[in-house]
Structure 1
Amino acid sequence: MKYKIVVLVFFLGISIAKAQQMDAYFNATDAFLKTHVSNGKVDYKVIVEQPAQLNALVDMAKNINVMEGKPNEYQAFWINTYNLLVIKGIVDNYPLKSPLDVDGFFDKKQYNVGDKTTTLNGIENELLRFKFPNEPRFHFVLVCAGLGCPPIIDEVYAPELLETQLQRQTAKALNDSNFIRVEGNTANVSKIFEWYKSDFENAGGIIAFINKFRTSRLPAAIQLGYYPYDWTLNSK
């Protein structure tokens, strides 16, 4: 009996420590974003001059192990980590005009985070999209550092707020006349909808998905077009 109690206390201690580690990561990420992000833009110049806070966050993320069984915590961790690593990739190669100026920015550069080694594309496609195929809202919170992306926000994606945040950011993008450009019988939309068409087909189709969030619905028969993606850096 004593052995069982000791084991129980041991694993309870581990669980508490992991929860505290996760909370510390989310809180520190929130503080970082509030300091360096405003109006959807990132102050890369300041971060380049003072990288300690960002580097500490990336170090914190190395050994955090999140489980799919806690989907809100899992998704929030990987969304935040993706956005932080994009900033890290820009800062490490600054100055530059676009993330595409760096060879392999998304698919070659590897990071040790979440108790694994992965790339930005690995986070997006393997750890998020593949594991949650019915969640196209990821595309409105993962920020690629280009102006064509939905804007980065100045707060952490928190497990307890994630559903509200996903809804808010998706609705914000899909009601933005610069993101969904309606001209007569044509709606010109982001290349995101073309690149990840299958994600939106799983949600009933592109127009049906957009209309779930728009205050002014698109006609079902409207023609879709795709405007060029703006990879210009989202710098202040």
Structure 2
Amino acid sequence: MKKYILILFTLIGTNLQAQSLDTFFKEADAFFKNNVKNGKVAYADIHKNPDALNALLANAEKISVKESDAKNYQAFWINAYNLSVIKGIIDNYPTNSPLDNKGFFDKTTYSLAGKQITLNDIEHKLLRPKFKDPRFHFVLVCGAVGCPPLISKAYLPSTLDTQLEAQTKKAINGSFLKVKKNKVSASKIMEWYKEDFTMNGTTEIDFINKYRTEKVSDKAKLSYFEYNWNLNKQ
């Protein structure tokens, strides 16, 4: 009897966790749709009425998600990162840049999935080293114009790979690169995280050509343009 009771409680707990995670994704999707347009965030409006954001993050605090459940795990932490960036901006609003706020990425902590965690921890401990996917750089949005654009929807486990591909292609074929004949100037992201774009013996140009419609020469000279840290506000 005890064995069956234990199984029952395990099933109930698993079901409640799934419901909580599904609720988080639905509410996050609604929040992004209401507050993000063309990659820009309505910080002023959110600052006036932060209830939806605070409720979302309160829900995120209770989420339980395992690394072995890779799609749910990645989708949760990508959304949690982007929401926490917005929360960090709102808590310091008005502000002109995330860098204007000391410790924005490496000192300020958020209560997420039972952890007290910084933005850098999410990116550099929970995502990049565990999954080694350079596409994360095109969906984790740091609150600045130089970042890839924030989409007006949540990242969902069922569509995650498609969304990662789409955002990477959008960046590589858009403002992430400046191409002139055999000269390629890339966002500083590609310099800061060179190891992510040159895994398994590939070059940065190889990575670019994997996603770029108009290919660049293998002999192209690569440089990096300065990052625009101005706030990505509407």
TM-score (norm 2): 0.98
- Which segment is superposed worse, 5-14 or 148-157? 5-14
2:220 alignment counterpart: 222
Q: Which amino acid aligns with 1:97?
A: N
Matched, 1:64 2:66: no
- Which segment is superposed worse, 57-66 or 35-44? 57-66
Q: Which stretches of structure 1, 4 residues or longer, exceed 2 Å deviation after superposition?
A: none
Deviation at 1:191, TM superposition (A): 0.2
Deviation at 1:184, TM superposition (A): 2.5
Whole-Å separation in 2 of the counterparts to 1:207 and 1:143: 23
TM-score (norm 1): 0.97
2:232 alignment counterpart: 234
Q: Which amino acid aligns with 2:214?
A: S
2:178 corresponds, among 178, 181, 193, to 181
2:41 alignment counterpart: 42
Matched, 1:147 2:145: yes
Q: Which amino acid aligns with 2:182?
A: N
Equivalences for residues 72-91 of structure 1 within 5 A: 72-91=71-90
2:194 alignment counterpart: 197
2:105 alignment counterpart: 106
Q: Which amino acid aligns with 1:166?
A: L
Whole-Å separation in 2 of the counterparts to 1:221 and 1:198: 20
1:168 alignment counterpart: 166
> Please, which runs of 5 or more residues in structure 1 have no aligned partner?
none
Secondary structure at 1:226's aligned position in 2? Answer: strand
Per-residue CA deviation, residues 127-181 of structure 1 (Å, 9 max, x unaligned), is: 0011112x000000000011000000000000010000000000011011x3210
1:210 alignment counterpart: 208
2:14 alignment counterpart: 15
Equivalences for residues 100-139 of structure 1 within 5 A: 100-133=99-132, 135-139=133-137
Q: Which amino acid aligns with 1:25?
A: F
Say how many residue pairs are matched. Answer: 233
Whole-Å separation in 1 of the counterparts to 2:210 and 2:171: 12
Secondary structure at 1:151's aligned position in 2? Answer: coil
Is the contact between residue 57 and residue 112 of structure 2 (CA under 8 Å) also seen in structure 1?
Answer: yes
2:96 alignment counterpart: 97
Per-residue CA deviation, residues 191-232 of structure 1 (Å, 9 max, x unaligned), is: 000000001111522111111111111110000010000001
- Which segment is superposed worse, 209-218 or 135-144? 209-218
Is the contact between residue 144 and residue 232 of structure 2 (CA under 8 Å) also seen in structure 1?
Answer: yes
RMSD across aligned C-alpha pairs, in angstroms? 0.8
Secondary structure at 2:219's aligned position in 1? Answer: coil
Secondary structure at 1:233's aligned position in 2? Answer: coil
Whole-Å separation in 2 of the counterparts to 1:47 and 1:18: 28
> Please, which runs of 5 or more residues in structure 2 have no aligned partner?
none
Deviation at 1:70, TM superposition (A): 0.9
